[in-house]
Amino acid sequence: MSANYAVVLAAGQGTRMKSKLYKVLHPVCGKSMVEHVIGQIEQLNLTQIVTIIGYGGKQVKEVLGKRTEFAVQQEQLGTGHAVLQAEQILGEKKGTTLIICGDTPLFKAATLADLFAYHQQQKAAATILTAKAPDPTGYGRIIRDQAGNVAKIVEQKDTTPAEAAINEINTGVYCFDNQTLFQALHQVTNDNAQHEYYLTDVIEICQKSGQKVAAFAMKDFNESMGVNDRVALAKATSLMRQRINETQMRNGVTLIDPQNTYIDSDVQIGADTVIEPGVVLKGKTIIGENCLIGAHSQITASTIADNVTITASVLENAEMAEGSNIGPYSHLRPQAKIGPRVHIGNFVEVKKAEIGADTKVGHLTYVGDATLGRHINVGCGCVFVNYDGINKHHTTVGDYSFIGSSSNMVAPLQIADHAYVAAGSTITGDVAAHDMAIARGRQVNKAGYYDRYPVAKAAQQAEQAEKSFK
Ligand code: UD1
Ligand code: CA
């Protein structure tokens, strides 16, 4: 049976990145380069995907999991040697094999499908995906004969000046007749400037043995971009960002300033949501319809329902229900669950706490390890005191209760429904329904004491000065 396969090359160390992180694991818009590649080829319904891993391969395996099979290249002896490691899995099989590098994150499934189609239509043994590069430096060059047929690929370091001037480049993506590929790979030598076994030499081997070699020229060079260093990483990120932002806008999201909006590739946003400049949306964040995400908000792995307003705030692993709002300058930390129509005002921090529908936490408050019911008002400057230095403790506040400003709720603590905490209280014991708790020193007024203080003298002088001006 004839089938389609893919080999993803991801064993190179990526020395030019100068990084402890394995090259293909460097993220582009929140997702590693190799995941971008796998994500696209998964859309091609292939029979098998084999990823070549080597140095640092354990982490690549963890990231890709069951999405691909793996073959290990113990020593990085070149791209040809890398593909050969898939021989045990694919060598005998009949069909077409797509080869793609793990450091080319921008390829789209549609382009790869076009390559497959062209390869099959041409009945070629090998088809190279090529592009015209404004600056071909670093890429392998496509050498064509006088009839315009591909003769070979020459790597940058092996080029003559005339070859170096050619701007048609090898994108590093190919379709091969599978059995021809593995036969040819055994003939590749490392007789070149880098002493590596080049996959690209297979082209000349096929050509010389009379097999048909085709080339499919893609239009958008940017899509083929390979990332070998941090400069290219930034360029790829910028191109990917532009692509993501365009998709979001076409889906009905308003971006006030797309050049300055940073949305990771797995973020989902509903129609009619408006994103202001400087917003950063990371991880698997989901935002509903008709929300307003205000300037400079940062949202990571959070779920935001419809009609939510976020003003200059930071959210991580948090949830906000329909119609709620937050900010400016507030912080939702992991496991903050904000209920429907809840108002979180400015300078509020919420951590591992659930806040029920229609509750208000307006200003300068810390809510940690707590469950708040519905229709509660938490005054200004309250602290849910959750930590005794060793352990965290929990506070519960029931529906329709009122927490006066500047109160401390020392956990573990239960405040019932319809309970009232007087302002300035430090509450250390449970409060029953319909009770009022007050825990502060009683006020004492000392007659005439004002005049004992230096402020009194200063006030007197100021008043005299005012009079003399009149
Ligand atoms: C390669 C091509 C070049 C092409 C360019 C496109 C070769 C010899 N050259 O060059 O013609 O223009 O890609 O981006 O194929 N890898 C392994 N094992 C190895 C060596 C590399 O798995 O022993 C993997 C790397 O992880 C990487 C890919 O193969 O994902 C390409 O290797 P890289 O060293 O980046 O090749 P380039 O110099 O970019
Ligand atoms: Ca590369």
Half-sphere exposure of residue 173, counting CA atoms within 13 Å on the CB side? Answer: 31
Helix (H, G, I), strand (E, B) or coil at 240: helix
Ligand positioned closest to the Cα atom of 169: 1
- DSSP per residue over 65-129, as a string? GGGSEEEE-SS---HHHHHHTTHHHHTT--EEEEEEETT-TT--HHHHHHHHHHHHHHT-SEEEE
> What does the pLDDT read at residue 470?
77
Q: Give the integer Cα–Cα distance in Å for 366 and 153.
A: 63
Q: Same domain for 15 and 148?
A: yes
Are 202 and 339 in a shared domain?
A: no
Rounded to a whole number of angstroms, the distance between the first and last alpha carbons of the chain is: 105
pLDDT, residue 2, reads 72
Check 26, 186, 363, 394 and give the catalytic one: 363
CA–CA separation, 389 vs 348, rounded Å?
Answer: 22
Provide the residue range defining the domain that includes 161: 4-224
Q: What pLDDT, on a 0 to 100 scale, did the predictor assign at position 159?
A: 96
Q: Report the CATH number that the domain containing residue 77 is assigned in CATH.
A: 3.90.550.10
Distance 229 CA to ligand 2 centre (A): 9
CA distance 168 to 158: 16
Reported pTM: 0.93
Is 447 within a domain?
Answer: no
pLDDT of residue 13: 83
462 in any annotated domain: no
Contact 56, 22 (CB under 8 A): yes
What type of residue is 212? Answer: K
Element (H, E) at 175: strand 168-177
In the chain, how many domains are there?
Answer: 2
Residue to mutate (ligand 1; options 79, 171, 176; most atoms within 8 A of CB): 79
Are 182 and 273 within one domain?
no
- Ligand 1: which residue has its CA nearest to atom 33? 12
**Which residue from 432, 398, 425 is spatially nearest to 409, judged by alpha carbons?**
425
- CA–CA dist 8, 15 (Å, integer): 19
Burial 291-323 (b: 16+ CB within 10 A, else e): bbbbebbbbbbbbbbebbbbbbbbbbbbbbbeb
201 Cα nearest atom in ligand 1: 8
Q: Which atom of ligand 1 is nearest to the CA of 75?
A: 23
Residues 344 and 203 in one domain: no
In a domain, 252, yes or no: no
Of all protein residues, whose CA lies closest to atom 10 belonging to ligand 1?
139
Starting from the CA of residue 34, give the closest ligand.
1
Which of 344, 296, 338, 309 shows the shortest CA–CA distance to 321?
Answer: 338
CB 206 within 8 Å of CB 169? no
For residue 271, give the CATH number of its domain: 2.160.10.10
Q: Do 48 and 192 fall within a single domain?
A: yes
What separation in Å is there between the alpha carbon of 141 and the centre of ligand 2? 14
172 lines ligand 1 (CB under 6 A): yes
The set of long-range contacts for 369-374, using a CB threshold of 8 Å and a minimum separation of 24, is: 369/393, 369/394, 369/395, 369/411, 370/394, 370/395, 370/396, 370/397, 370/409, 370/411, 371/395, 371/396, 371/397, 372/396, 372/397, 373/397, 373/398, 373/399, 373/400, 373/401, 373/417, 374/339, 374/399, 374/400
Instruction: Collect all residues with Cβ–Cβ distance below 8 Å to 455 and sequence separation of at least 6.
Output: none
192 lines ligand 1 (CB under 6 A): no
d(CA 71, CA 63): 15
CA distance 332 to 342: 13
Determine whether the shortest distance from the Cβ of 223 to ligand 1 is under 6 A.
no
Q: Are residues 281 and 340 in the same domain?
A: yes
The conformational region for residue 411 under phi > 0 = left, psi -120 to 50 = alpha, else beta, is beta
Q: How far is the CA of 226 from the centre of ligand 2 (A)?
A: 5
Same domain, 277 and 364: yes
Amino acid (1-letter code) at residue 390: I
Residue 169's pLDDT is 97
R_g of the chain, CA atoms, integer Å? 32
Same domain, 187 and 305: no
Amino acid at 33: M
pLDDT of residue 384: 98
Residue-level pLDDT at 1: 52
Q: How far is the CA of 166 from the centre of ligand 2 (A)?
A: 18
How does pLDDT run across 139-172, given as a tens digit for each residue?
Answer: 999 999 999 999 999 999 999 999 999 999 999 9
Q: Please tell me the distance from the alpha carbon of residue 362 to that of residue 345, in angstroms, as a whole number.
A: 4
CA distance 208 to 184: 11
Q: Does the Cβ of 101 fall within 6 Å of ligand 1? A: yes
Give Cα 231 to chain centroid, integer Å: 19
294 and 181 share one domain = no
Residues of the chain short of pLDDT 50, as ranges, are none
pLDDT of residue 469: 87
Give residue-wise pLDDT tens across range 317-376.
999 999 999 999 999 999 999 999 999 999 999 999 999 999 999 999 999 999 999 999
Kindly state whether residues 270 and 334 are assigned to the same domain: yes
Mutate to test the pocket of ligand 1, among 101, 156, 196 (most ligand atoms within 8 A of CB): 101
Nearest ligand 1 atom to the CA of 13 is: 26
Q: What are the CB-based long-range contacts (under 8 Å, 24+) for 149-152?
A: 149/207, 149/213, 150/203, 150/207, 150/213, 150/214, 150/215, 151/204, 151/207, 152/200, 152/201, 152/203, 152/204, 152/207
Atom of ligand 1 nearest to the CA of 172: 6
Q: How far apart are CA 256 and CA 439, in angstroms?
A: 49
On whether residue 234 sits in a domain, the answer given is: no
Catalytic residue list contains 363: yes
Residues contributing to the annotated binding site for acetyl-CoA = 386-387, 405, 423, 440
Asked if the structure places residue 254 within a domain, the reply is no
